Amino acid sequence: MTEPVTSPTSSHEVGKADSTPDLWRPGRKAMRRQMLDYVATVASVAAGSILLLVLVSILWTLLSRGLVGISWATLTRTMGPPGSGGGLANAIIGSLLQTGLALLMAAPVGLMCGIYLSEYGRNGNHFASVVRFVADMLMSAPSILIGLFIYQLLVVPFGHFSGFSGAVALAVLALPLIVRTTEDMLRLVPTAMREAGAALGAARWRVIIFLCLRSARKGVMTGILLALARMGGETAPLLFTSLGNQTMSMDMTRPMASLPIAIYQYAGASYEDWVQLAWTGALLVTFGVLLINITVRLSSRH
């Protein structure tokens, strides 16, 4: 963008400021306006740079504290008492199991709800607009409340914490995200495509699944992957549902370890090796989450 030229100041002003009128020299007021523009530009570039710097600082802190802890033993041994050379294997597996199960629950329901909103819930459908609004509300609800909710719903009645309730909490977290991206992506499919399908005599469900969903599959996958990334780093809802576990457990009905919970428990510990494990876990979680995000963003740009 070219810099807007500050106009030659009015002769009236120049005449006041200067005895020899030079029409093309900016007057005092014009100088001030340009100064202000300059200051605003510098300030806003600085504001953006601070945000970039924060990201760099976070990554640097994670790398410098966590990288030394990454070893084969950390990845393959289970958590243990301080000084016993424990690792994070059970937390990693617990995280994978819970997010995997959560995705299995949230993805089909989220897809179908998204399809409903886009294909049946266009203009004039009040039920759909309420669902849309509620999905947004659920998306902005603090994640800790989702933990409390699932605690009341699944932990209190059964009397114990479980990996399953952790997965449900994560699924509730991911659901609105999947719903809204699915709807947005399906809306991008041109109406002509639906009409063409209907004209060939295909049933509506066939048109929706084999034409609309197929042509929007890339965007829908993006939404699901972003939901996965969001679930991977969530701590607060798991705190009240799957609780965490020091031993290797793949039983969904018992308390289960997960990386974020392990980080939370170990970060404040007073044992050197536990704190080290927390940083290593933080490094793993962050780079996993960022990797998904970067992949999605790069692939969706084409």
Partner 1 sequence: MTPVSRSSHRRAGFDTVFHGLLWICALLVLALLGGLILLMATGGWQAFTTFGLAFFTSASWNPVKDVYGILAPLLGTAVSTAIAMLIAVPMAFGTAFWLVYIASARFASIVGTTIQLLAAVPSIIFGMWGFQTIVPFIARYIQPFLNHHLRHVPMVGPLFTGPPVGTGLVTSGIVLAVMIAPFITAVMVDVFGAVPPMLRESAFGLGATRWEMMHKIVVPWSRNGMIGAIVLGMGRALGETMAVTFIIGNVTTVGWSLFAPRSTVASLIALQFPESPAGSLRLSSLMALGFILMLLSCVSLVLARCLRGKRQ
Contacts of 103 (CB under 8 A, 6+ apart): 171, 174, 224, 227, 228, 231
Asked if residue 7 binds partner 1 (CB under 8 A), the reply is yes
Asked if residue 299 binds partner 1 (CB under 8 A), the reply is no
Piece of 77-85, 90-98, 142-150, 249-257 that binds partner 1 (CB under 8 A)? 142-150
Tokens standing for residue 146: 């989702």
| Residues forming beta bridges with residue 243, ordered by sequence position | 256
| Minimal distance, residue 97 CB to partner 1, in Å | 18
Asked if residue 31 binds partner 1 (CB under 8 A), the reply is no
Helix orientation angle between 89-115 and 259-267, rounded to the nearest 10 degrees:
130
For residues 181 to 220, the per-residue mask of contacts with partner 1, x marking binding by CB under 8 A and - elsewhere, is ----------------------xxx--x------------
Piece of 71-79, 87-95, 138-146, 186-194 that binds partner 1 (CB under 8 A)? 138-146
List the one residue from 24, 52, 123, 302 that touches partner 1 (CB under 8 A). Answer: 52
Cα–Cα distance for residue pair 198/192, rounded to 1 Å: 10
| Residues forming beta bridges with residue 256, ordered by sequence position | 243
Whose CA is closest to 262, among 273, 249, 246, 250? 246
Cα–Cα distance for residue pair 84/71, rounded to 1 Å: 15
List the one residue from 14, 179, 220, 257 that touches partner 1 (CB under 8 A). Answer: 179
- Considering only residues 56 through 115, tell me which ones interact with partner 1, judged by CB under 8 A: 57-58, 61-62, 65, 109, 112-113, 115
Asked if residue 124 binds partner 1 (CB under 8 A), the reply is no
Contacts of 252 (CB under 8 A, 6+ apart): 97, 101, 162, 163, 164, 167
The residue among 93 and 117 lying less far from partner 1, judged by its C-beta, is 117
List the one residue from 68, 137, 196, 250 that touches partner 1 (CB under 8 A). Answer: 137
Contacts of 224 (CB under 8 A, 6+ apart): 103, 107, 110, 178, 181
In one letter, which amino acid is 178?
I
For residues 234 to 273, the per-residue mask of contacts with partner 1, x marking binding by CB under 8 A and - elsewhere, is xxx--xx-------------------x--xx--xx-----
List the one residue from 13, 17, 25, 33 that touches partner 1 (CB under 8 A). Answer: 33
| Minimal distance, residue 115 CB to partner 1, in Å | 6
Using CB under 8 A as the binding criterion, the count of chain residues that bind partner 1 stands at: 91
Contacts of 265 (CB under 8 A, 6+ apart): 244, 278
The residue among 93 and 239 lying less far from partner 1, judged by its C-beta, is 239
